[in-house]
Chains A and B, each alone.
Chain A
Amino acid sequence: MPKIKAINFNFFYAKTQALHSLNLEIKLNNLLTIMGPTGSGKTTFLRALNRLNDRVPAARHAGQLLLDGTDVYAPKVDVAELRRRVGMVFALPLPLPLSIYENVAYGPRKKGINSRSRLDTIVEKALIDAAIFEEVKDRLNSSAQHLSGGQQQRLALARVLAVEPEVILLDEPTSGLDPLSTFRIEETLQQLKKQYTIILVTHDPLQAARINSDVAFLYLGKLIEVGPATEMFTRPRNRRTEDYITGKFG
């Protein structure tokens, strides 16, 4: 059974349709890169998966979006629990107005974990897995606002890892970062995909090529093509895919 499966999934903001009959599968502990230009529906898909789109007035969906075979929109689904299973890193690397430690401990605390020693363990492990521990271990209690952009984005990743999710969604996580910080995030993702199911959204075909995983190409809310990066970048089946990866639009 695929970890995530979209069956004829549509999404609407008021009268605007953002996703058209999307059919897509992601296998367990696999990394899928979704690429596409602005307005292609990539972010909408992510925000449907953790139901953050619930906050948007007049947003609605049709079709099915399955996580482990259960529709995430099923009435019995506990949304907070869903969001713990499906973590998300946003495009803007923004720390919560708390210390570095409390940023990472935020999710576990809200889940009801309050023991200091347990939190210490969780925070340390999350920071190590997000490859930022060495840089911040001596100033865990200072404000997270003073970290660099790249560090803040790795902190955001640690914040998600601390909740022990099954799926990690990353919405253009490197769009505001310098090449070196981008490289470090990509490197970390290669490690993490062994234990997590990951969806990375990017508008940059080069990033999709570097990640070299399965790639889905979305355009104007429709899935144009999906397949391994090596195939898509050498033998695109669709002309629009070819135009996009060769930089003719986007």
Chain B
Amino acid sequence: MLDQEKWAETVLTVVGLSAVAILGLIILFIFKEGLPAFTQVGLWQFLTGTDWLPSKGKLGILPMIAGSFMVTAGALLIGLPLGLGCAIYLSEFATPRTAALLKPTIELLAGIPSVVFGFIGLTLIVPFIRVFFGGPGFSVLASSLVLGIMILPTMVSVSYDALRAVPLTYREGMLALGASEWQTVKMVVLPAARPGILAAAILAMGRAVGETMAVIMVAGNSAIVPGSVLDPVRTMTSNIALEMGYATGLHRQALFATGVVLFVIISVLNIVARAVVRRK
């Protein structure tokens, strides 16, 4: 019996380390494969080079970094107000019945695979932009719209939970002082829920930065810094996915190096997110 207990403890300790071990392996393998590109191309050159011409040995990923940032910013511009508005509605203004129906529905929709979002973008959003705004349609705008919709469920669900966690007495106190419902939300509920809402935004941002398939389908994928929101764009994730299939040598290492840059950016986002949530 004691033996069984010892075994259980040993096995569970090892199992408990599996996530840490996988994380370690991921860092080890991606960095090991990507680092040679940094040394050969030069870290600064790699990060700030504006030309991505692997056949000519020109490997600068600035267009992709810029692309990821533009697309993500666009997605947040669309997804944050919509998501937060929806969360405020469900938490503060909807009847309990409506909230009880819509919240799970939105969480259910969090499961829509990213390729489906990409496909909707490809068949509806891209042609729409082409017809009404001009340009090829495959663009920063199309990517931002697709990603903005994609992050909605995360944004709604997490910020809803943050809003609901604000004690009812806060609201009652304000209302008792004669404040209107919106004033109560603006002055008491939103400030109290701010860490949770920030965490939701950072989670959503992480999802947008890391998304691959949906973006590839609507971005156009030209490796140049876009001049307007109607120009095609290529993100870091697409850069990897598009060329992994045939890249060799330094080119392939440069793709893994793109992965390293992506990993570092995402890690910074996660650390910030954790710090923000801890402050709550």
Contact = CB atoms under 8 A, between A and B. Distances in A.
A236 to B, nearest CB: 47
B108 interface: no
Contacts of A78: 2
B176 interface: no
A113 to B, nearest CB: 12
Interface string A72-92: 000000101000000000000
Contacts of B1: 80, 112
Interface residues of A, number: 3
Nearest to A112: B1
A80 B1 CA distance: 10
B7 to A, nearest CB: 15
Main secondary structure of the interface of A (DSSP, over half): loop
Interface string A104-117: 00000000100000
B211 to A, nearest CB: 42
A80 to B, nearest CB: 7
Contacts of B2: 78
A146 to B, nearest CB: 29
B215 to A, nearest CB: 48
B221 to A, nearest CB: 55
A238 B1 CA distance: 49
Nearest to A78: B2
B2 to A, nearest CB: 8
A9 B137 CA distance: 81
Nearest to B2: A78
A112 B2 CA distance: 12
Nearest to B5: A80
Interface in B1-35: 1-2
Interface string A96-130: 00000000000000001000000000000000000
A161 to B, nearest CB: 22
A80 B3 CA distance: 13
A80 B2 CA distance: 9
B4 to A, nearest CB: 11
A112 B1 CA distance: 9
A71 to B, nearest CB: 20
B99 to A, nearest CB: 31
**A-B pairs with lowest CB-CB distance, top 3:** A112-B1, A80-B1, A78-B2
3 contacts: A78-B2, A80-B1, A112-B1
